Amino acid sequence: MKTLIYQRWKAAFDRPFWEDEIAPKLLDGKNVIIAAHGNSLRALSKYIERISDDDIMDLEMATGEPVVYDFDEKLNVLGKEKLGK
């Protein structure tokens, strides 16, 4: 299962969005494309990668750079690939 994170208009990510919208689709074996603003992508990455509050500030997110996550059947991150490099 993979999800592509790109750029989305939503100003901020909240955990219910992951739990209510994204996770169920991934668990159904669907691919999900998310286009979001940098801050909401950072918050989503923090949540799914379990990044600490201190380390999140060091997360590099280039504008318009797609990121593909690979998940296991329990939605643990198996891999992360930045496309376009």
- The conformation of residue 22, written as its DSSP 8-state character, comes to I
pLDDT tens, position by position, 41-70? 888 888 889 988 888 888 888 888 899 999
Cα–Cα distance measured from residue 61 to residue 6, given in angstroms and rounded to the nearest whole number: 10
Q: What is the mean pLDDT of residues 3-27?
A: 66
Q: Judge contact between 61 and 41, C-beta under 8 A.
A: yes
Task: Return the percentage of the chain with pLDDT > 90, whole number.
Answer: 33
72 φ, ψ (degrees, to nearest 5): -90, -175
Number of domains forming the structure of the chain: 1
Of the two residues 58 and 74, the one the predictor is more confident about is: 74
Average pLDDT of every residue of the chain = 80
Rg from Cα positions in the chain:
12
Res. 15 pLDDT band, cuts 50 70 90: low
Res. 2 pLDDT band, cuts 50 70 90: very low
Per-residue burial over 40-62, b = 16 or more CB atoms within 10 Å of its CB, e = otherwise: bbbbbbbebeebeeeeeeeeeee
Domain span holding position 44 = 2-82
